[in-house]
Structure 1
């Protein structure tokens, strides 16, 4: 065999982003730890957010991954905050495979202090709203996404979601979230509801065991400081926090950046605006140039493109809920 033949091999970088699920043995209590770096940098590379906005959005990214990991359908969770401060909107979308994207929309010409809190950014007048949409990919005819809307109740992202889960899902949930320019990390603990005969893990425990394990797990996790969360990998965190507990660890999952925007979806968004409004815009501009708010990809529609949109009847597909459709 000749030694002159060389095969070229291209190595695809492996993401270090990891979500680790675990459950406490003989108790109806589960947990998750997530660390997101590559995906978080991909999101930031497409935007230049002030540090305070970056922190809240990064915490939201970690939270969305933690909640998405328990989806029981093929679809996505879309987490939105509609703000009444200098930040008008934050959106994070994550599907059941942990493919993620995120964006924030700021009011024009605002100056945001580096130490601004979630309330400063999004709930200055108490009118902020938190929205979670569960959007199945394979909808039945006439099926609409499930959407829960609540006031923005909480001083930080973790308490907002905890209050939402207790109010809307009647599920005890605790979160510890942190983000900086390099990493987004989070820890979730949930006390599972008891459904007799349906869950071996629950059947092996009593309500007293569950409550004792839950209280102990929350107490241990509450020793976690923000600096430690941001500077420590999730395997080390799990060992530090729960080294005395008997827990079962599952295969890790790996979040990744992915934007689902397409030319067809942008065209459907234009159709939602209506033919008259699109024609008016074409008269003023000559063509419509649209950038995806999530990934920045540019889509251009001229007069012929727009005429074709309204010449052919096609079902309108929205990428985000009707409350704030985006592309």
Structure 2
């Protein structure tokens, strides 16, 4: 079993198609150590984290990339965030025991948002309805509608690993639909077990052994939370002096837990 957390990029030499594969082991377990997620919620979060790493190598930005799904169903909030350094974090919020099923049964009438935040503060956000059976379906719809580039996603997660496969057809002169359809049919044969556990070179050979595939050097992926005492302090400052003093008078200190990593921060009267 391949146990490294890595993002692999590849392309097809004779076709205008690029691809990526991500496999997360320790970075995924670091998220699971912080919260006890029900299996259905866990798998959705793992798929979202795999997706946001794949997207981090596809969308141009110099800050952070956030994939968020929201709805009024049992699983009402799902957030995965990646940086261009391939660090990732994620969280989910749910009620009761979310059922297995399509997106509607999990999220209700929900939507998926993809937000790009650049270093200078510039922000771009795209929104699409959460329609289809899987997060992969919703992502494909987003790319086909907003980016106008045919794109396919295969996402999977369990209690040990999370992984994803991404294919995208690049702009080209002439009709290249036959090649795109052929590669898509080949990729559709991948099983969750193969995507989670096979070394990438082995997986690519199994799927595309009759194609000319160029595989680039992998990039490491790691869990990392961007919370800090300074950032939490900035958030508290935005609440205003009077409200903070009222909390101090009632509780003696201000306690804040990071939703992503569960780290605890405490601020006393001197801090305020």
TM range (shorter): over 0.9
Within the alignment, does 1:228 sit opposite 2:206 as a pair? no
Tell me how far apart the structure 2 counterparts of residues 233 and 89 of structure 1 sit (CA, whole Å). Answer: 32
Q: Report what 1:120 is aligned to.
A: 105
TM-score relative to the length of structure 1: 0.78
Q: How many residues align?
A: 271
Q: CA deviation at 1:241?
A: 0.5
Aligned pairs (5 A) from 1:130-149? 130-137=112-119, 139=120, 143-149=121-127
Structure 1 segments, 4+ long, off by >4 Å, are none
Tell me how far apart the structure 1 counterparts of residues 233 and 146 of structure 2 sit (CA, whole Å). Answer: 34
Aligned pairs (5 A) from 1:157-172? 157-172=135-150
Aligned pairs (5 A) from 1:180-199? 180-194=158-172
The answer to whether the Cα contact below 8 Å between 2:151 and 2:167 also exists between their aligned partners in 1 is yes
Tell me how far apart the structure 2 counterparts of residues 111 and 283 of structure 1 sit (CA, whole Å). Answer: 38
TM-score relative to the length of structure 2: 0.93
Instruction: Give ranges in structure 2 of 5+ residues lacking alignment.
Output: none
The answer to whether the Cα contact below 8 Å between 1:35 and 1:233 also exists between their aligned partners in 2 is no
Within the alignment, does 1:260 sit opposite 2:226 as a pair? yes
Q: CA deviation at 1:31?
A: 0.7
Instruction: Give ranges in structure 1 of 5+ residues lacking alignment.
Output: 1-14, 195-205, 307-327
Match for 1:38 among 9, 15, 26?
A: 26
Q: Report what 2:43 is aligned to.
A: 55
Q: Report what 1:174 is aligned to.
A: 152
CA deviations over 1:174-227 (Å, ceiling 9, x no partner): 011110011111110001124xxxxxxxxxxx422x322211110111122334
**Which structure would you say has the larger Rg?**
1
Q: Report what 2:129 is aligned to.
A: 151
- Aligned to 2:97, what secondary structure does the other structure show? coil
Q: Report what 1:281 is aligned to.
A: 247
The answer to whether the Cα contact below 8 Å between 2:103 and 2:130 also exists between their aligned partners in 1 is no
